[in-house]
Amino acid sequence: MTPDELTQPADNLLDVERTFSERLAYIGRFFWRDKSGIIGLVMFFLVVFAAVFSPAISPYNPLKQNLRDSKMLPAWTAEGSWDHPFGTDNLGRDIFSRVIYGARVSLTVGFFGVLIAGTLGMVLGAIAGYAGGRIDSVIMGVINLVLSLPYLLFVVFIAAILGRSLINVILIFGITDSPVFARVTRGEVLRIRESGYVESAISAGARWPRIVFDHIIPNLIGPLITLATFEMSAMIFYEAGLGFLGLSVPPTVPSWGNMLAAGRKYLTSYPWIATFPGLAIMFTSMGMNLLGDWLRDVLDPRLRRSRK
């Protein structure tokens, strides 16, 4: 998530030509944009659905080994069978079932990671923006430190120290990603403080809770939801990467990263083992990025364009 992504102007939505075909093309473009958001939403919901209903959807126990049926090809190849749509891995486990269960790990990490990062970040950012002075400098100093580090390297470093567990992974992302949320929150709090609105509201008798709920939160909610979407997608990405290096959840857990790590060994002879978890990551990430782009255009008040 870089600043430019937050300030990218909405596409030239005002470009309307008069001729029928151009107008049609314009509407097509506009619809494409909206549609891209809807596509993103559908993709995301599919992943959520897979995660929630994994036991019902997956035909096999993802952990069940069956060495007799190992390394089976996907169903649509000549040697494949629809018993195992995506084939089986080196231990004869059903890849389709494992991909479905993998969504659970990814979404759990993404959801709780963003929950922690968002809560922590909002609190820190609000304190920094509200208190100002020395407290602000200290919090901002830490935020700048974390944001200027080579992120992936430090995540790998911490994960290597803490050891493989779901809780550790969630905590790592929750804590290291909170500065991003803190920065946005602080910026918004400062902007509202400086707008002079607060003084006038206080002099008119409003109390802080009222100001927070009526003005600060409504202004923050759009940017934060957008940010949460992008950050969740990033966490899912990083979790898979850690898994690939053998640093995320324990090796027995069917996560996309673990599957990739295992499939890598058989890349040249049984490439599908590594292909499907990779496609699953890409599917999820693409859906969330499309959704995030769309949310940003729709929710970010700075981008909402009036006619003038």
Partner 1 sequence: MTTILQVENLVTRFYTLDGVVYAVNGVSFNLQKGETLAIVGESGSGKSVTMMSILGLIPIPPGKIESGEAGLLLDDPPRDLLRLSPPELRRVRGGRIGFVFQDPISSLNPVLTIGEQITESLTKHLGLSREKAKAQTIKLLGYVGISDPELRYKNYPHQFSGGMRQRVMIAIAIACSPEIVIADEPTTALDVTIQAQIVELFQRLQKEMGMAIIWITHDLGVVAGIADRVLVMYGGRVAEVALVDDLYELPQHPYTVGLLGALPRLDATDTKRLVSIQGTPPDLLVPLNHCPFAKRCEYAFERCRAEIPALRPVGAGHRVACFYDLQKGKPRHD
Partner 2 sequence: MQRYFISKLGQSVLLLFGVLLLVFVMVRITGDPAALMMPREASPEDVEAFREAMGFNRPLPLQFVDFLSGAIVGDFGNSLHFKTPAMPMVLARLPATVQLAGVGLLMAIVVGIPLGLVGGFTPGSLVDSVGRGLALLGQSIPNFWLALIMILFFAVRLGWFPSFGRDYWNSVIMPAFVLGLPTMGQIVRLTRSAVLEIRGEDFIRTANSKGLEPGTIYTKHVLRNVAIPLVSVIGVQFGYMLGGSIYIETIFAWPGIGQLLEQSIGWRDFPLVQAIAIFTSLVVLAINLFTDVAYAVIDPRIRYDT
Query: Is 149 a residue that touches partner 2 (CB under 8 A)?
Result: yes
Question: Dihedrals φ, ψ of 207, to 5°?
Answer: -105, 165
CA torsion 276-281-283-286 (nearest 10°) is -150
Helix (H, G, I), strand (E, B) or coil at 254: coil
For partner 1, give the closer residue by CB, 23 or 264.
23
Given partner 2, partner 1, none, residue 251, with its beta carbon under 5 to 8 Å by kind, binds none
Query: Is 132 a residue that touches partner 2 (CB under 8 A)?
Result: no
Rounded CA separation 181/202 (Å): 27
Decide: 113 and 230 in contact? Cβ < 8 Å: no
Within its chain, how far is the Cα of 301 from the centroid?
A: 21
Query: Is 285 a residue that touches partner 2 (CB under 8 A)?
Result: yes
Query: Is 11 a residue that touches partner 1 (CB under 8 A)?
Result: no
Decide: 171 and 149 in contact? Cβ < 8 Å: no
Q: Could you say which of 35, 210, 282, 302 contacts partner 2 (CB under 8 A)? A: 282
Q: Which residue's structure tokens are 């003005």?
A: 215
For partner 1, give the closer residue by CB, 30 or 197.
30
Rounded CA separation 44/271 (Å): 26
Helix (H, G, I), strand (E, B) or coil at 88: strand
For partner 2, give the closer residue by CB, 131 or 145.
145
Query: Is 13 a residue that touches partner 1 (CB under 8 A)?
Result: yes
Query: Is 137 a residue that touches partner 2 (CB under 8 A)?
Result: no
Question: What's the one-letter identity of residue 270?
Answer: Y
Rounded CA separation 98/93 (Å): 8
Q: How far is the CB of 17 from partner 1 (least distance, A)?
A: 6
Given partner 1, partner 2, none, residue 167, with its beta carbon under 5 to 8 Å by kind, binds none
Query: Is 17 a residue that touches partner 1 (CB under 8 A)?
Result: yes
Q: Could you say which of 60, 173, 181, 237 contacts partner 2 (CB under 8 A)? A: 237
Query: Is 281 a residue that touches partner 2 (CB under 8 A)?
Result: yes
Query: Is 162 a residue that touches partner 2 (CB under 8 A)?
Result: yes
Helix (H, G, I), strand (E, B) or coil at 94: strand
Rounded CA separation 116/121 (Å): 8
Question: Dihedrals φ, ψ of 252, to 5°?
Answer: -75, -20
For partner 1, give the closer residue by CB, 13 or 145.
13
Neighbours of 101 (CB within 10 A): 23
Query: Is 156 a residue that touches partner 2 (CB under 8 A)?
Result: yes
Query: Is 34 a residue that touches partner 1 (CB under 8 A)?
Result: no
Given partner 1, partner 2, none, residue 127, with its beta carbon under 5 to 8 Å by kind, binds none
Given partner 2, partner 1, none, residue 16, with its beta carbon under 5 to 8 Å by kind, binds partner 1
Question: Dihedrals φ, ψ of 94, to 5°?
Answer: -75, 120
Show the CA angle centred on residue 227, arms to residues 210 and 54, nearest 5°. Answer: 110
What does the binding site for partner 1 look like in residue numbers (CB under 8 A)?
Answer: 13-18, 307
What does the binding site for partner 2 look like in residue numbers (CB under 8 A)?
Answer: 2, 4-5, 7-9, 11-12, 15, 25, 29, 141-142, 144-145, 148-154, 156-158, 160-162, 237, 240-241, 244-245, 247, 260, 263-264, 267-268, 271, 274-275, 277-278, 281-282, 285-286, 289-290
